Amino acid sequence: MNLEEEIKKIQERNKRVEMDKRWETSVTRRICIAILTYVVVVIYSYLIKNFDNVLLSSIVPVIGFVLSTLSLKVIRKIWQK
């Protein structure tokens, strides 16, 4: 394998890593996870027959998830120092 091929492979890998990093921090990903979490909790609430404000009480885990993603940036900055 020559040097040009190795450089090309490294550049392709770097593009994949950068795309993965952008996806991990994207608002789209957070919204998708929040929606899926909400749907799963609503379904679970119906399965266990917890009918007391199902739609409202199901939002609690979603809020927890969103808050954790926001606070982790602050914690990571502190950890990096």
Give the pLDDT score at 5. Answer: 92
pLDDT digits (tens, 9 = 90+) for 10-28: 999 999 999 998 988 888 9
* Residues 6 or more apart in contact with residue 38 via CB below 8 angstroms: 58, 59, 61, 62
pTM higher than 0.85: no
pLDDT digits (tens, 9 = 90+) for 30-45: 889 899 999 998 898 8
Phi and psi at 29, nearest 5°, equal -60, -45
Please state, in angstroms and rounded to a whole number, the distance separating the CA atoms of residues 72 and 59: 20
Asked if 4 and 11 touch (Cβ cutoff 8 Å), the reply is no
